[in-house]
A = this chain, B = another copy of it.
Amino acid sequence: MIPNENVKTFPLKEVPHYKVHGRTDRSQELLPLFWNGSAIEVNVTGSELWIDIDVDFDVHEPWVCCAVNGAIMSRQMLMPGSYSLCLFRGMNPENVKNVQFIRELQAMSEDDACRILIRGLRADGDFLPIPERKFKLEFVGDSITSGEGTYGAKKEEDWIPMFMSASRNYAFLTAQALDAEARLISQGGWGVLCGWDNNPHHNIPTYYTQICGLAGGPVNEALGAQKDNPFSEWQPDAVIVNLGTNDCSAFSQPEWSDPESGETFRQHLNEDGSFHADDLARFEQAVVDFLYVIRRNNPSAYIVWTYGMLGYRLSLAIADAINTFRSKTGDIKTFFLQLPNTTEETVGSHAHPGSASHKRAAKVLTEYLQELLNA
């Protein structure tokens, strides 16, 4: 490789203009990308651009992708270490290139060592301001919002990072269509009340107010993951929740029990297959409680609870909870939207919504938000 003598290294904080996407702790020396869809964005001239990163994990390797002028150019898994990745080379140095370096993998509650940190950038051009996008959107969800199934063959049955993404998921597609910034908070298998396996600790609301509270362990703590999220610094126009799918699964699963504490939890079905009333009420209460939390932290945002991409069964319960919340609070900016279910035709890997299902859901959601946000 003929070396480019003009490339200069910039610690991230010395980059004149850059934008950080996704909840993170901006006081860190090295900037963590905690969530899928978290990203660094620059507008840069020059012929080439590199990013300096620190990566680690125990079991689940992080994946990233890179978009140049809005088009995804690369997607790859990251190995542990401190190294540089070239994001583009050989381009006309005069032109301004918009580049986004994006985390594909969800935050990993099951791998405390998993992390991507941005050390800085290398370039032979100038960094220019990045215009504000038209809207700000926050997406809160489970494996669907983690993009599980958006990559990989239909026959795949493994639960691994390779099959998850930001790049093909409905949240990313919706944001792109609306010219919006997107923040994703999601965890595969988790719910509003409990996880798919009745684990009551696997609920998003518990961690919603932290930057990335479900990323555990001392390293993540040091990276600021458990800090309170500074909501006032980034107020979304809409919060889109896509939860309930795992809460629904829980009703058909055996009791969860903690081998250590002996704690147990279970949502029950009646004999006729309907949801047990008390357990359903418990689920609905969790929805109501979460809406209070969201509203408290996002006072002027539209809240749209979406549901349906992996089955519609809890639709009426979710709507009931929203109605309860609305009638208790008079909050008229909270809504319910079903997204089309995934079918044989649109399913992706690991029995999750494939790229076609995400596209269809994104279309319905985009149209919905378009009407809401322009109103």
> Which A residues fall within an 8 A CB radius of B?
1-2, 56-61, 63, 68-71, 73-77, 79-80, 86, 88-92, 95, 151-153, 155-158, 160-162, 272-274, 312, 315-316, 319-320, 322-323, 326, 332, 335-338, 340-341, 343, 349, 363-364, 367-368, 371
A367 adjacent to B349 (CB under 8 Å):
no
Interfacial chain B residues near A343, Cβ < 8 Å: 367
With A60-B90, A316-B336, A341-B367 already in contact, the answer to whether A1 and B79 are too (CB < 8 A) is yes
Whether A68 contacts B155 by the Cβ 8 Å rule is: no
List 12 additional contacts besides A1-B57, A59-B90, A73-B152; criterion CB under 8 Å.
Answer: A68-B153, A68-B156, A69-B153, A74-B76, A74-B77, A88-B160, A91-B158, A91-B160, A315-B335, A316-B322, A319-B336, A340-B364
Q: B79 to A76, Cβ gap below 8 A?
A: no
Task: Please give me the 9 A-B residue pairs with the lowest Cβ-Cβ distance, nearest first.
Answer: A319-B319, A69-B153, A338-B338, A76-B76, A71-B153, A274-B332, A90-B160, A1-B80, A320-B323
Whether the pair B323, A92 counts as a contact (CB closer than 8 A) is no
In the complex, chain B residues whose CB is within 8 Å of the CB of A155: 69
Most B CB within 10 A of own CB, among A61, A95, A162: A162
Kindly report which residue of chain B lies nearest to residue A162, judged by CB atoms. Answer: B73
B341 x A312 contact (CB < 8 A): no
Q: Is A349 within 8 A of B71, CB to CB?
A: yes
Known: A88-B162, A151-B73. A368 touches B341 (CB 8 A): yes
Q: List 17 A-B contacts (CB under 8 A).
A: A1-B61, A69-B153, A71-B152, A74-B74, A74-B75, A76-B76, A77-B86, A90-B160, A273-B332, A312-B335, A315-B337, A316-B319, A319-B319, A340-B363, A340-B367, A341-B364, A341-B367
Return the chain B residue nearest A59 by Cβ: B2
Q: For residue A71, which residues in chain B have a CB less than 8 angstroms away from its CB?
A: 151-153, 349
Task: Find out whether the CB atom of B319 lies under 8 angstroms from the CB atom of A337.
Answer: no
A340 to B366, CA, bound (A): 11
Contact B338 A2 (CB under 8 A): no
Given the complex of chains A and B, what is the CA–CA distance between A71 and B155 in angstroms? 11
Q: A326 — which chain B residues lie within 8 A by C-beta?
A: 316
User: Which B residues lie within 8 Å of A58 (CB)?
Assistant: 1-2
Note all chain B residues with C-beta closer than 8 A to A1.
56-58, 61, 79-80
**Which residues of chain B come closer than 8 Å to A162, judged between CB atoms?**
68, 73-74, 88-89
Rounded to whole Å, the gap between the CB of A330 and the closest CB of chain B is 9
The distance in angstroms between the C-alpha atoms of A68 and B91, with both chains bound, is: 31
CA of A273 to CA of B368 in the docked complex: distance in angstroms?
18
Chain B residues, CB < 8 A from A69: 152-153, 155-156
Most central of A60, A74, A155 by chain B CB within 10 Å: A74
Rounded to whole angstroms, the CA-CA distance of A74 and B273 in the bound complex is 43
- Taking a contact as CB atoms under 8 Å apart, the answer to whether B315 and A319 are in contact is yes
Contact B341 A338 (CB under 8 A): no
The distance from the CB of A24 to the nearest CB of chain B, in whole angstroms, is 23
Known contacts A61-B1, A316-B336, A332-B272; A68 and B160 CB within 8 A of each other: no
Measured between beta carbons, the chain B residues less than 8 angstroms from A57 are 1
Residues of B within 8 A of A75 (CB): 73-76
CB-defined contacts of A61 to chain B, threshold 8 Å: 1, 86, 89-90
With both chains docked as a complex, state the minimum distance between the C-beta of A45 and any C-beta of chain B, in angstroms: 13
